[in-house]
Amino acid sequence: MQKVERIGVSLDKMLLSSFDKIIARQGYQSRSEAVRDLIRQQLSREKLTNPKVNAYAVVSIVYNHHSTKLMQKLTSLQHSHLLQTISSIHIHLAKDECMEVIVLRGRIGELNHLGEKLISLKGVKQGEINLVYPKP
Ligand code: NI
């Protein structure tokens, strides 16, 4: 385990009380754990702005499965990016509607580019790219 350092933080009462309410609702057992997560989030957010850093992306798209061309394009885009595409899950949302969750790995610049390509395909009703930087 890495060496732990203690720090002291001064906050006004109102700010601390709002913070305590939120973290209690979220289920945190201690302020320290909540603050550690906030710092990790901030560090990871910072990393995710660098297009050359290696990370993961979860691309979720919603579309109508009657659009055969779209399904072919979705599949061929993933096949032509074999190194980036780790996995995909298909979920039947409703009678005509499907959701596909595609997990990608690679440089952030490439992940955003491929994610945007997938989302902008004609027939995709809804799409989102979530970048994940697993460290620290
Ligand atoms: Ni389906």
Specify the CATH number of the domain 54-132.
Answer: 3.30.70.1150
Interval 83-113: pLDDT, tens = 899 999 999 999 999 999 999 999 999 999 9
**Greater pLDDT, 82 or 50:** 50
Question: What percentage of the chain has pLDDT greater than the value 70?
Answer: 99
Closest CA to 76 of 126, 109, 114: 114
d(CA 116, ligand 1 centre) in Å: 21
pLDDT at 82: 85
d(CA 75, ligand 1 centre) in Å: 14
**Greater pLDDT, 2 or 126:** 126
User: Would you place residue 120 in the very low, low, confident or very high pLDDT band (cuts 50, 70, 90)?
Assistant: very high
* Mean pLDDT of all residues belonging to the chain: 93
d(CA 89, ligand 1 centre) in Å: 10
d(CA 124, ligand 1 centre) in Å: 13
| Domain positions in the chain | 13-47, 54-132
CA distance 22 to 32: 14
Sheet with 85-92: list strands edge to edge.
85-92, 97-107, 54-64, 124-132
Interval 19-39: pLDDT, tens = 999 999 999 999 999 999 999
CA dihedral 37, 43, 44, 45 (to 10 degrees): 110
d(CA 101, ligand 1 centre) in Å: 12
pLDDT at 1: 66
